[in-house]
Structure 1
Amino acid sequence: MYKRKTAIKSYLVFSMSIILLCFFNNTVQAAPFECFAVSDLVRIFDDGYNCPEPQEAIEIFGIRNEYLSAQCVVKAGRDINHVAVSVSPLTRIGGAISLPLDAVSWNFVGSIAIAENAPKIRKADLIRPAPARFPDYLTEEKQISLEKGKYRAIFLTIKIPRDAAAGRYEGTVTVETEQGSGSLPVHLMIYPLTLPDERHLMVTEWYSTNKFRQFHGIDSSDSEKFYDMLAVYAQNMAEHRQNVFRVSLDLISSKLDDKGGLTFDFSRFDEWADVFWNTGRMDLLETGFVARFGEGDWSSNEVLLRDFRVQEQSSGRSVTMPGEKFLPQLLPALENHLREKGWLEKTVFHIADEPSNHNVISWRRASQFVHRYAPSLRRMDAIETPHCDERLEIWVPKLDHLTTWYDVYKEAQSRGNELWFYTVGIFQKGSHPNKTADVALIESRLLHWLNYRFGLTGYLHWGFNAWTDDPFEAPGQHRGDGWHVYPKKDGLLNSLRWEQMRNGIQDYEYFRMLEDKIAEIKAGLGENSFMIDPSQRGVEIASQLVRTMGDFSRDPHALYAAKKQVIDELLDLERPPKIIIQTNPLEHSVVANDCAIDLHGWAEGGTKILINGRQLPISQDGLFMENVSLSRDHTIVVEAEHEKGSKRIVRSFEVLY
């Protein structure tokens, strides 16, 4: 009897094992891969390193005329083949309205090999130790295979049309493989605002045509193909909101007569410039670079005017002419030519790149020399010195120097000079936003939150396409910082950093939209509205992410919450009761316990305002000003009541006891 029971028990266990195994195998067969959403602001490594928590749907929002980014991931449960992606039309809920099919594009994300992490960057600021493959570019592949356990990101780009109807849109991303398919919901919210075409932030990425032959198979002698490819570059820049471009002085041909006089032919210079002007979205032309460092290059104590090549009219020979003799003739001619073309006010002129304290005296002489012969040209240089007074109209310090000598640079700005900044990844010290491929992707976007946060009006970077011979497998010492696009035979591949650069520039315009709306209200008020600073609210919101130049959040959720806050406040300024609230110091400032906060602003007529429960007096023109104390939770609560509606506004502070 015992043996019989044991046999029956063994049989049942065996049978159950077979059933469970079959169930498990069927389950695996039914789900050969996972598909989930993640933030567009993170890099997804092929081995899943530090992969964020999967999300069940792609949730995105924006306004009309804006590019949006989204990202999802395929994780292979076993080897899968012929992995392809499709995106359904995004259709508005409550109506048969869809975005155009070409409004949405997608790309698999490719990775580059980095052997060693970038120097001068704190280990805590790196997203992963090298060696590793770092996700960085948008591939052209439309079908891939994926090994078991591997991850592959899919990057979506959505261009919201200028005439899109506001509302919530839905669609799906579908991943199809030989082993099955899976879908992911897409939820898009379009708010009733429009991003302006006008660009308030000046942005330049220096480009080169030196590798057109190597990567595009185009020789400079093939004029038509050359300019067609140059137009591809210009269009890519314009689509990413770059609005400043370089044209070399060496494109101007010069002829020398027997008496030492020079004549100039600007036709090639003009043709090159027109390629960029014809995008319709460029605001500034950069040229110049008329001086060089002496012996020892950057470490030299001298900055010297460089030589120029000219052609002798009589012999046809090409000869060298020193800058001291060449520039007094070229500069007035160039200034007149730019004026005739209508480009003079849109041109900025470089003296020499990156003068520093050890050679700034000779740089100042070179700058004054240029100004003597072309007084209407605005001078601009990337600088590593604070000693540029009266020799520069556009100051562009490196970000770490901007932090160190901030007071000097802001003083220069207060005297009417423009203040930009530039970055060089491997030579930048401190914990500042950077653009090497081994730091957090969000940093490429936060550069332009930093721009707005500190009242800066431009950004310069040296590398649009300064590729190594193999930027994919041997990116060299700059770890991707030397380029924002990757080469392909017939054009360019965008990088994740380039996409986030555009997003950051768009974010800057969000802040400007808020500033402009407050400025519009202020313009209709009396002289007592002097106390309202139109830029203050944008600065306060930007400071939620960028507290200082070296202290900033890398949290994607915090960024999108702040972006949504700008949208909400823009829309709120259109709803009654209209009200502007400002404080001194700014919201989020560190203040002493029980200190007085200066609160001031404006409200439309008929509005009653309560501050932490106490009614505030308002003048006939709607302006008010009061010293108030913080509540126990370190906030100021403003309640505005009007017959047409009510609002509750909160400002928060950090208190030191």
Structure 2
Amino acid sequence: MNTVKHIRMKTRKMIVAGICLCLAQYSYSQERMGVTHSGHITGQPPFPVEYYSELPNPAATDNETWRGVSGVSVNWGSKYVRYAKESKAKLPKDITGKLKGWKGEKVSAQLVIASAVDLENVSVEITAPLHVSGKYEISSDCILKGFVRYVMTDELNHHKAGTCGDRPDASRYDSTLVADPIDHLALSLPVAAKTSQGYWVGIRIPRDALAGTYKSDVTLKNGTEVIGRLKLELQVLNHTLPAPAQWAFHLDLWQNPFAVARYYGVQPWSKEHFALLKKELKPYADAGGKVVTASIIHQPWNAQTYDPFETMVTWMKRVDGTWMYDYTVFDRWVEFMRSMGVTRAIGCYSMIPWRLSFQYYDQATNSLKELHAKPGEQVYRDFWLGMLKDFAAHLKSKGWFDITHIAMDERPMKDMQEALSIIREADADFKVSLAGALHDELSDELDDYCVALRMKYSESLKRKRRSEGKITTYYTCCEESYPNTYTFSNPAEAEWLGWYAAKENLDGYLRWALNSWTIEPLLDSRFYSWGAGDTYLLYPGGRTSMRFENLLSGIQAYEKIRILKQEWERNGDVKKLAKLERILRNFDEHQLKDIPADRVVEQANLFINTL
């Protein structure tokens, strides 16, 4: 969630107008070349899916790191490092990569190719992990593998405090290529001379796997020539994670189906659109996503994203002045997401949009109209009260009322109280969620409460909410320098987020943008309002990212901690509980500027995976 106070609308309109002009200038080239948010001509057809070329690297080759290097070296690196493309990666000598995990857990590693010579067609082969007893093999279908591609990024604000504020001039910020997208669609890639190239290996351990050590062979080729051989050992511990749909962690990453329709050029809500959404949103479901993001008015966040959220509910004022509401799109969207396994909650945005303007279809004039109204005005009350009563009846008919939340993000206290009074009048049992500032006086009204990382719930408030079965989470946005999930952030910061939720005894984490893509998200993650990568964690083509995979690792750590704590409390194992608390105390955001997240996370994993 990013607060509107950081957006100067006049400047934004100028930026959007400039981008539209730039796009118009190149509209003739839609079949020839694309253009990014910064006006960078991509040199290839717009909106690539399976194959694409990265933007040129603005950084010069770091010749000093390549001095005296010849040929190709390959080895295991760290999943927390974005290896610079232009530099010779510093790698260990041990050719055996080692992973540990629970049954049901997804574990990841990164290998790196550093080549002093041009390689035309690099590919990686991995044998199915085989138990040392020979009695169990993990299917190759359980392996996610792909090149770690490079995307354009920028940096923190010049005063190093977050990234909030308009960024109309990309040249004011240091723009570099960084490793982030995991490209499982590219079966092979060229690697230029004096280039380092990462490759991701993720293994989802079956829940019925045999505990013990598994071994796998990794072969790297340039065409038919073998350029490297590595070993991979996986130790499966005798603990089991439940299936992601049963994870307790409350993951709420706002989905943007409209970005998918725009990128692929398909009609929203068509058969083709839903087929694409199934591929693009599968990683969210596989990570235990709990909340369906539904927009029940036109553009609840105004122009916060390149692809605005349109309404999933059609509001129509009849000739006689009465209202009719069509929920066809809303129903299809919710049913689709539930079929994907996202079934815990539906977040409906928003009674208090950033721009207090509400679009509807006016039957009398056969046109779209806008109502400008604000909380506290009678016209606002009448507009929402009738809809919410009708909406409640519809949700009950679908069996969704108990999981649906009338959702808001931070607005003035008086406005939120006015909205709450209308909600309660419409149906006293409506659930309400808020992502915003901490207001103790609002807690009793909120079934799902999410506050910024820097705001701390009192222990008594957390206990009270948990005893009442309410959800209590936190979010990060453009205000945080560390931790965050920018494309220039330390990838371990994404994993840190799950550990922090465990430390604070919170139910989970919210991020305002799962896939609100930039114009060319595979090539350029920079945006005109916030730091690069702030608007999305997933890439087109069903691609995940270093950030998303590490976020998943943190969620799994949260689940492991929850399970172990229950076991230790049941058995009265105070020593292990005390050790865990000491480990969790290290997850302090104020230390991240001086103590990198990877160091904190690696130490914590060392403890949790020795049990």
Q: Is this a same-fold pair by TM over 0.5?
A: yes
Are 2:591 and 1:551 equivalent residues in the alignment? yes
Determine the C-alpha separation between the residues in 2 that align with 1:334 and 1:560.
48
CA displacement, residues 66-117 of structure 1 (integer Å, 9 cap, x when unaligned): 1111111111132233211100121111224221121223111111122444
What amino acid sits opposite 2:241 in the alignment?
Answer: L
Counterpart contact for 2:495–2:601, Cα < 8 Å = no
Determine the C-alpha separation between the residues in 2 that align with 1:385 and 1:558.
28
Counterpart contact for 1:255–1:311, Cα < 8 Å = yes
The equivalent of 1:152 in structure 2 is 197
Q: 1:281 to 1:65 in 2, by over 3 A?
A: farther
* Structure 1 residue corresponding to 2:404, chosen from 347, 363, 367: 347
Is the deviation greater in 169-178 or in 321-330?
321-330
Q: How does 1:10-21 map to 2 (within 5 A)?
A: none
The equivalent of 2:581 in structure 1 is 540
What amino acid sits opposite 2:240 in the alignment?
Answer: T
* Structure 1 residue corresponding to 2:233, chosen from 179, 187, 203: 187
Once the two structures are TM-superposed, the CA of residue 520 in structure 1 deviates from its matched residue by: 4.8
Are 2:272 and 1:215 equivalent residues in the alignment? no
Determine the C-alpha separation between the residues in 2 that align with 1:231 and 1:324.
38
CA displacement, residues 395-439 of structure 1 (integer Å, 9 cap, x when unaligned): 211212x15x767965874785532111113x22xx641111212
What amino acid sits opposite 2:292 in the alignment?
Answer: F
The equivalent of 2:56 in structure 1 is none
What amino acid sits opposite 1:329 in the alignment?
Answer: G
Q: How does 1:374-389 map to 2 (within 5 A)?
A: 374-386=427-439, 388-389=441-442
Counterpart contact for 2:219–2:226, Cα < 8 Å = no
Q: How does 1:97-136 map to 2 (within 5 A)?
A: 97-118=136-157, 121=160, 130-136=174-180
* Structure 1 residue corresponding to 2:604, chosen from 562, 565, 572: 562
Once the two structures are TM-superposed, the CA of residue 251 in structure 1 deviates from its matched residue by: 2.2
* Structure 2 residue corresponding to 1:266, chosen from 315, 327, 330: 327
Q: How does 1:270-419 map to 2 (within 5 A)?
A: 270-293=331-354, 306-312=357-363, 318-320=368-370, 322-351=379-408, 353-355=409-411, 359-386=412-439, 388-389=441-442, 390-400=444-454, 402-403=455-456, 410=462, 413=465, 416=468, 418-419=471-472
Q: 1:419 to 1:213 in 2, by over 3 A?
A: closer
Once the two structures are TM-superposed, the CA of residue 214 in structure 1 deviates from its matched residue by: 3.7
Determine the C-alpha separation between the residues in 2 that align with 1:78 and 1:253.
59
What amino acid sits opposite 1:475 in the alignment?
Answer: R
The equivalent of 1:613 in structure 2 is none
Determine the C-alpha separation between the residues in 2 that align with 1:69 and 1:253.
44
The equivalent of 2:494 in structure 1 is 444
Counterpart contact for 2:538–2:545, Cα < 8 Å = yes
Once the two structures are TM-superposed, the CA of residue 568 in structure 1 deviates from its matched residue by: 4.3
Q: 1:317 to 1:384 in 2, by over 3 A?
A: same
Q: 1:183 to 1:219 in 2, by over 3 A?
A: same
Determine the C-alpha separation between the residues in 2 that align with 1:73 and 1:509.
30
Instruction: Name the SS for the 1:35 alignment partner.
Output: strand
Are 2:134 and 1:95 equivalent residues in the alignment? yes
Determine the C-alpha separation between the residues in 2 that align with 1:432 and 1:235.
28
The equivalent of 2:517 in structure 1 is 467
Q: How does 1:164-183 map to 2 (within 5 A)?
A: 164-177=209-222, 180-183=226-229
Q: 1:260 to 1:226 in 2, by over 3 A?
A: same
Determine the C-alpha separation between the residues in 1 that align with 2:450 and 2:574.
25
Q: 1:151 to 1:360 in 2, by over 3 A?
A: same
Are 2:100 and 1:61 equivalent residues in the alignment? yes
* Structure 2 residue corresponding to 1:514, chosen from 564, 575, 584: 564
The equivalent of 1:248 in structure 2 is 295
Counterpart contact for 2:118–2:191, Cα < 8 Å = yes
What amino acid sits opposite 2:271 in the alignment?
Answer: E
Instruction: Name the SS for the 2:242 alignment partner.
Output: coil
Once the two structures are TM-superposed, the CA of residue 190 in structure 1 deviates from its matched residue by: 0.6
The equivalent of 1:482 in structure 2 is 535
Q: 1:407 to 1:172 in 2, by over 3 A?
A: same
Instruction: Name the SS for the 1:73 alignment partner.
Output: strand
The equivalent of 1:228 in structure 2 is 275
Once the two structures are TM-superposed, the CA of residue 315 in structure 1 deviates from its matched residue by: 7.0
Determine the C-alpha separation between the residues in 2 that align with 1:279 and 1:486.
18
Determine the C-alpha separation between the residues in 1 that align with 2:447 and 2:290.
19
CA displacement, residues 511-561 of structure 1 (integer Å, 9 cap, x when unaligned): 111133245557xxxxxxxxx999955851651541x24235536465345
Q: 1:119 to 1:512 in 2, by over 3 A?
A: farther
The equivalent of 1:610 in structure 2 is none
Determine the C-alpha separation between the residues in 2 that align with 1:544 and 1:469.
40
Once the two structures are TM-superposed, the CA of residue 136 in structure 1 deviates from its matched residue by: 0.9
Flag structure 2 segments of 5+ consecutive residues without an equivalent. Answer: 1-66, 163-172, 297-310, 372-378
> Where in structure 1 do 4 or more consecutive aligned residues deviate above 6 Å?
532-535
Q: 1:535 to 1:192 in 2, by over 3 A?
A: closer
Once the two structures are TM-superposed, the CA of residue 480 in structure 1 deviates from its matched residue by: 0.9
Instruction: Name the SS for the 1:238 alignment partner.
Output: helix
Determine the C-alpha separation between the residues in 2 that align with 1:354 and 1:361.
11
Is the deviation greater in 96-105 or in 535-544?
535-544
The equivalent of 2:250 in structure 1 is 202
Q: 1:104 to 1:232 in 2, by over 3 A?
A: closer
What amino acid sits opposite 2:389 in the alignment?
Answer: P
Counterpart contact for 2:153–2:178, Cα < 8 Å = yes
Are 2:121 and 1:86 equivalent residues in the alignment? no
Counterpart contact for 1:36–1:72, Cα < 8 Å = yes
Q: 1:209 to 1:58 in 2, by over 3 A?
A: same
Determine the C-alpha separation between the residues in 2 that align with 1:34 and 1:386.
55
What amino acid sits opposite 2:258 in the alignment?
Answer: N
Higher relative contact order (CA 8 A, sep 6+): 2
What amino acid sits opposite 2:388 in the alignment?
Answer: L
What amino acid sits opposite 1:340 in the alignment?
Answer: S
The equivalent of 2:506 in structure 1 is 456
Q: 1:257 to 1:104 in 2, by over 3 A?
A: closer
What amino acid sits opposite 2:358 in the alignment?
Answer: D
The equivalent of 2:206 in structure 1 is 161
Equivalent pairs, count: 503
Once the two structures are TM-superposed, the CA of residue 236 in structure 1 deviates from its matched residue by: 2.6
Instruction: Name the SS for the 1:492 alignment partner.
Output: coil
Counterpart contact for 2:259–2:515, Cα < 8 Å = no
Q: 1:199 to 1:534 in 2, by over 3 A?
A: farther
Instruction: Name the SS for the 2:280 alignment partner.
Output: helix
The equivalent of 1:18 in structure 2 is none
Once the two structures are TM-superposed, the CA of residue 51 in structure 1 deviates from its matched residue by: 4.1
Instruction: Name the SS for the 2:181 alignment partner.
Output: strand
CA displacement, residues 17-76 of structure 1 (integer Å, 9 cap, x when unaligned): xxxxxxxxxxx9x97211111121221111237746454311001011111111111111
Instruction: Name the SS for the 1:183 alignment partner.
Output: strand
**TM, length-normalised to structure 2:** 0.75
Determine the C-alpha separation between the residues in 2 that align with 1:467 and 1:119.
24
Once the two structures are TM-superposed, the CA of residue 271 in structure 1 deviates from its matched residue by: 1.1
What amino acid sits opposite 1:393 in the alignment?
Answer: D
Determine the C-alpha separation between the residues in 1 that align with 2:534 and 2:367.
41
What amino acid sits opposite 2:554 in the alignment?
Answer: G
**Identical-pair percentage:** 20
Determine the C-alpha separation between the residues in 2 that align with 1:281 and 1:537.
35
Determine the C-alpha separation between the residues in 2 that align with 1:538 and 1:317.
65
Determine the C-alpha separation between the residues in 1 that align with 2:116 and 2:498.
39
Once the two structures are TM-superposed, the CA of residue 257 in structure 1 deviates from its matched residue by: 4.7
